[in-house]
Amino acid sequence: MQRIPELDGLRLIAILGVFCVHFRPAPKHLFDATQLGWVGVDLFFAISGFLITGILLDLRGKEHPFKHFYWRRALRIFPAYYVSLALIILLAVIHGQSPPPPGKTASAATFLVSLGEQRVSWPLLTARLAGHQGFRVAALPVATPHFRSFADGIVVFWSLSVEELFYLLWAPIILLGSRRSRLVFCIAPFFVCPVIRAFVHTPSYPEMFLFFCRLDSLAAGACVALAFGERQRVSKRVFDFGLLSTMISSGLLCLALFLKCGLLSGTELRSTTTFAIFGYPLLAIFFAATTGLCVHCSGRIWLAALRWKPITYIGKISYSMYLIHIPVYVAVGLLWGAHTLTYTSQILHGVAAVFCTIALSAISWKYFESPILALRDRPFSLRAVRSDLSIPVAASTSD
């Protein structure tokens, strides 16, 4: 699939949303727009669902599609991930902070497995399934994150776990499934996921971190990718209208739902049952339609801002930015001296962390990630990898 600069522009918007929610100071008012920055992850999911499905559709009928797909995904995800994980643990130990627990949490992070299921109240789930417990819960106010330990950087890895499970599940569905089965698997999550979320929901919203509760966020992007495969059946005007009308209508419904769930009164939207059931799919549809519209209208003048080179560059390095932004924030806080207490100093702390994250990610992209990604078009061969990395073949005991 050819690189689409507008999608890098969308990635910039997504990562800025994550920065806003993680770096924001304690709000002065009940409503603070930065509290919605977590939707950046939903945008990442929609883009990923669209791109992964498109890549897999392009691989259908080609030789060794599974090997080709997983090889490229492994090169993109694993090197930066494991280096970031190692640095987080090392920095925590060096600074005398509590490293990630050595038990399940460490092993889960090592194997890119989310521990979100540990937050599920199994007695509550059983009671709801038996009809002994209702679904309404007391909503919580918005909380401001306070990252003070390098080990806090692991908290964002849950989304990578969701994506990795999606890669494993989705490849056989798209590569081996029929046209009808692909459509069924893309649409089914919109009915199944809300039901699962309703049964596991508590005010701490554990469903946000679980793969089978978030599959609809990725499936929405996949639906748009499948629609692109069928667009020759309809006129360009109809296709444009379908994407635009879906984006506008879902956006308006999202806004109405946000207001109903207490957006202006300082309520954490994700803590409400209504949002748990209806909010995630509405966001998924909105972001998927937005992604599709940006792809379909790529090159048009009104999308020029998303194609601006500084924006597309930051979008291109957003993966490593996502991985390291919390430990960078903690490091900036330590260098800052006394932890920032005033509203202005908290803002400056966050801004400094953003620029440092961009600088470090740019270095990583140029000297670490790009050389590794250059191997993507090589066949899956340890001999080829060692050759490209200037490692003598004889140094290894086996191929």
| Residue 276, CA distances (Å) to 261, 293, 379 in order | 10, 26, 43
Q: Is residue 340 within 8 Å of residue 368, measured between CB atoms?
A: no
Domain of residue 271, residue span:
5-395
Q: Give the mean pLDDT of the chain.
A: 87
Q: What's the pLDDT score for residue 390? A: 40
How far are the Cα atoms of 100, 249, 267 from residue 253, in angstroms, in the given order?
40, 6, 18
Intervals of the chain under pLDDT 70: 1, 28-30, 97-118, 337-340, 377-399
Tell me: the pLDDT tens digits for 236-263?
888 888 999 999 999 999 999 999 999 9
pLDDT given for residue 191 in this prediction: 96
State how many domains the chain has.
1
Distance between CA 288 and CA 321 in Å, rounded?
A: 22
Instruction: Tell me what pLDDT residue 10 has.
Output: 97
Cβ burial of 185 (10 Å; 0-12, 13-18, 19+) is middle
What pLDDT score does 340 carry? 57
* pLDDT tens, position by position, 123-136: 888 898 888 888 88
pLDDT in tens, 60-109: 988 899 999 999 999 999 999 999 999 998 998 888 766 555 445 555 66
